Amino acid sequence: MKKRTSLLALTIAITFVGGIITGVALFTNKTSDKTITIGKSPKSAIRPGTKQLPKVEKASSKVVIGYVQDFRDPNVVDYSKLTHVIFSFAHPTKDGGILLNSDAALKNLRTVVADAKKADTKVMLAVGGWFHINGGESYEYFKTAISNPESRTKLVNELTSIADREHLDGIDIDFEHPHSQADAENLAAFAKELSGQLHPKNKELSIAVYSKIHAVTLTEIGFVVYEPSMFQDVDHVNIMAYDGQWDDGYHAANLSPYPFTEKIVNYWADLFDKNNLAKEKLVLGVPFYAQPKDPKVKQVSYGAIVNMDSANAAKDTVSMNGTTYYYNGDATIKKKTNLALEHGFGGMMIWELGLDSQGSHSLTGAIFTTIKNSNYETQKYYTVKKN
């Protein structure tokens, strides 16, 4: 029994050693003919070299911000060509509360939010505007609310609350217009406090500002006052570069001509340079409506002008309803967009989306395409920057 066991063990041992030799031979035949030397391994074998991952940062991008009024059908908005939609307006009360026009306005706001999210477009809520829901101009309501620390804080809290509750991406301040240094300081305090609430929540803050340029003399207007330090607390400064028809009497042709806009762009670019502010915050506003030569006649939308004759898209004036209308056509809007880009502005702002034409003559589309064909994109995502 022991002898058989020893013989069996010897047979197993020989078979095992033979298997190893055969395996090495097969491995050697399957590898290259180079001699494999056992010794110190190269560094690459011990710790494979790793390439540094590309830096992930926001690509150079420009905003296309469009205001939409609360009574508009949300379906008229082409969210795909916008980075931001600003729903207008919430109305401040003197004690720091806010009011919406109706339940229908709230319903429209929620529809805008839902539709915009599908296109990865941000939605903000504007507070203020020219007219107040309770009648008259909103100036006195807004001024009173932000002049008192208690009502100012209440307004900040109300706006932050609705931004959270309605899943908004930020708030837009539309105080028209600060007329004194006291107004400017109160507005700056309001912006700082609101910024302190919104920015930790990754929400944005923008502000609509008067052009500060007289449409006739092309000189600085002094009756509207801003505290430059305020602009450090906002993400976008939406310049209302229109409504010049009211300067020095009524002249409809001064609605928003190119030389007027050019002066506005230079003024704000210089102001931001002098105060070491980022010009990327500046957003140039353009009108999507036409001003009648006869002040007794109502304004009309750019869309209505194009619907009458598509050739009007290439013009800046048209005769309708027994009067002449002045507006910005396709070529002028593209020229203004390039002007903003050349001066380092952050993008373009539209008043108002419900006034645009649908289809190939859309001014929103003209802005979007002009930016796309430049060295910039209307990026909505963080992208990997290529070296």
Q: Centre a 10 Å sphere on the Cβ of residue 99 and count the other Cβ atoms it contains.
A: 16
pLDDT of amino acid 380: 63
pLDDT of amino acid 260: 98
Between CA 181 and CA 329 the distance in angstroms is 37
The residue type of 159 is L
Q: Class of 58-288+329-377 per CATH?
A: alpha beta
The residue type of 99 is L
With CA atoms as reference, report the closest residue to 345 among 275, 266, 255. Answer: 266
Inter-CA distances, 63 with 118, 235, 314, 333, Å: 18, 11, 24, 15
Inter-CA distances, 28 with 14, 37, 39, 42, 202, Å: 21, 13, 18, 21, 61
Q: What percent of the chain has pLDDT over 90?
A: 80
pLDDT of amino acid 375: 79
Cβ atoms of 260 and 244 closer than 8 Å: yes
Per-residue pLDDT of the chain (387 residues; tens, 9 = 90+): 333 334 334 333 434 334 433 333 333 333 333 333 333 333 333 344 444 434 434 445 899 999 999 999 999 999 999 999 999 999 999 999 999 999 999 999 999 999 999 999 999 999 999 999 999 999 999 999 999 999 999 999 999 999 999 999 999 999 999 999 999 999 999 999 999 999 999 999 999 999 999 999 999 999 999 999 999 999 999 999 999 999 989 999 999 999 999 999 999 999 999 999 999 999 999 999 999 999 999 999 999 999 999 999 999 999 998 999 999 999 999 999 999 999 999 999 999 999 999 999 999 999 999 999 997 767 564 333 333
Domain ranges of the chain: 58-288+329-377
pLDDT tens digit sequence for 300-352: 999 999 999 999 999 999 999 899 999 999 999 999 999 999 999 999 999 99
Between CA 145 and CA 99 the distance in angstroms is 13
Inter-CA distances, 227 with 31, 188, 198, 234, 259, Å: 75, 7, 20, 12, 26
